[in-house]
């Protein structure tokens, strides 16, 4: 069965400033706690799929395919809010993350590697 | 007077996965509250300047110049932590933001534009 592919509202698409590859970075943040979970990328179709389903859906730049977060791991992201920044070139997804966001099992993709902490 | 330009520790640089333009995106988060303030970009020199000074310093892709956040507005970012994500292609700066991070005067660059809120 072929499901219809959702298309992005042109009024939203026209407000996005895409990269040359047609992508927009997405900061993904846990609802409530404010944790920054990860950075991912969407094209218009991934954003349309996210808006249609409420499940965070990204474009994998390495695999060159759509990727419903948690589809294989079960570590899904239920999207609460989608926000766009002041110059239209970055999205913010506020989500409810099931278990860890990181493929390593960590809660966030930024947990493991502290480059520098300033004193005071 | 020419100040010496700090260079980035090669052990750090080698862990970064830069874009073709030599850049890495930086998610900027308020210390304590967890607010996502903005997304910016650094090259190795901007990151070295940030680590040397404790003042968040970015590469402006539009102006093609280094940019000490708040240098003209006074809305500086004192950096508390620098983190790198699991695949080395995104940085997280945890900062103490003076006043608003956004050039519009808003606290964050994501305050003004709610694209969608899901019910429930």
8 Å CB contact between A50 and A79: yes
Residue B46 belongs to domain spanning: 10-97
Encode A69-88: b = buried (16+ Cβ within 10 Å), e = exposed: bbeeeebbbbbbbbbbbbee
Q: Is B28 exposed, middle or buried (0-12, 13-18, 19+ CB in 10 A)?
A: buried
Contact B115 A34 (CB under 8 A): no
Instruction: List, as ranges, residues 62-91 from B with C-beta within 8 Å of A.
Output: 78-87, 89-91
What dihedral do alpha carbons A71, B110, B51, B65 form, nearest 10°? 110
- The share of chain A scoring above pLDDT 90, in percent, equals 93
Mutate to test the interface with B, among A39, A82, A91 (most CBs of B within 10 A): A39
Answer whether A88's CB lies under 8 Å from A47's CB.
Answer: no
pLDDT, tens digit (0-9, with 9 covering 90-100), for A9-45: 999 999 999 999 999 999 999 999 999 999 999 999 9
Q: Closest chain A residue to B40 measured between Cα atoms? A: A90
Phi first, then psi: give them for residue B101, nearest 5 degrees. Answer: -80, -25
Q: Distance (Å, rounded) from C-alpha A30 to C-alpha B34?
A: 10
pLDDT at A3: 66
Q: Taking CB atoms and an 8 Å cutoff, what residues of chain A touch B85?
A: 38-39, 109-110, 113
Check if A52 contacts B (Cβ < 8 Å).
Answer: no
- pLDDT score at A95: 98
State the pLDDT at residue A66: 97
Q: Do A110 and B104 touch (CB under 8 A)?
A: no
Residue in chain B closest to A91 (alpha carbons) equals: B110
Enter the pTM of the model: 0.96
Task: Quote the number of domains for chain A.
Answer: 1
Q: What's the gap between Cα B106 and its chain centre?
A: 17
Neighbours of B3 (CB within 10 A): 5
- A86 is known to lie in a ligand binding site: yes
Q: Is residue A105 part of a domain?
A: no
In a domain, A61, yes or no: yes
| B49 half-sphere exposure, CB direction, 13 A CA radius | 17
Residue B46 resides in a domain:
yes
In a domain, A109, yes or no: no
Strand pairing class (B36-42; B24-30): antiparallel
Q: What is the ipTM of this complex?
A: 0.95
Tokens of A19: 């990269």
| Residue of B110, B111, B112, B119 to mutate, interface with A, max A Cβ within 10 Å | B110
pLDDT of residue B33: 97
Q: Which of B6, B18, B35, B86 to mutate to test the interface with A (most CBs of A within 10 A)?
A: B86
Strands B57-60, B36-42: pairing is unpaired
In a domain, residue B68? The reply is yes
Q: Which residues of chain B have pLDDT under 70?
A: 1-3, 120
pLDDT exceeds cutoff 80 at A63: yes
Q: 């997804």: which residue's tokens?
A: A93
Q: Please tell me whether B109 is known to bind a ligand.
A: yes
DSSP per-residue codes, B70-81 = TTTTS--EEEEE
Kindly state whether residue A68 falls inside one of the protein's structural domains. yes
pLDDT in tens, A67-110: 999 999 999 999 999 999 999 999 999 999 999 999 999 999 99
- Answer whether residue A102 is part of any domain: no
Contacts of B20 (CB under 8 A, 6+ apart): none
Task: Show which of residues 86-115 on chain B sit within 8 Å of chain A, judged by CB atoms.
Answer: 86-87, 89-92, 102-104, 106, 109-110, 112-115
Contact A58, A70 (CB under 8 A): no
Residue B15's DSSP bridge partners are none
Q: Is the pLDDT of residue A49 over 90?
A: yes
Interatomic CA distance for residues B56 and B78, integer angstroms: 7
Question: In this structure, what CATH number is given to the domain that contains residue B72?
Answer: 3.10.20.810
Residue A108 lies in a domain: no
């Amino acid at each position: 069965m072929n499901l219809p592919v959702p298309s992005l509202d042109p009024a939203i698409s026209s407000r996005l400033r895409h990269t040359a590859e047609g992508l927009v970075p997405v900061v993904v943040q846990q609802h409530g706690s404010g944790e920054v979970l990860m950075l991912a990328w969407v094209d218009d179709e991934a954003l349309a799929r996210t808006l249609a389903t409420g499940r965070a859906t990204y474009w994998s730049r390495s695999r060159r395919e759509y990727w419903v977060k948690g589809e294989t791991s079960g570590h899904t992201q239920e999207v609460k809010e989608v926000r766009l920044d002041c110059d239209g070139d970055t999205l913010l997804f506020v989500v409810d993350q099931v278990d860890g966001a990181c493929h390593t099992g960590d809660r966030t993709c930024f947990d493991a590697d502290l480059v520098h902490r300033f004193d005071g």
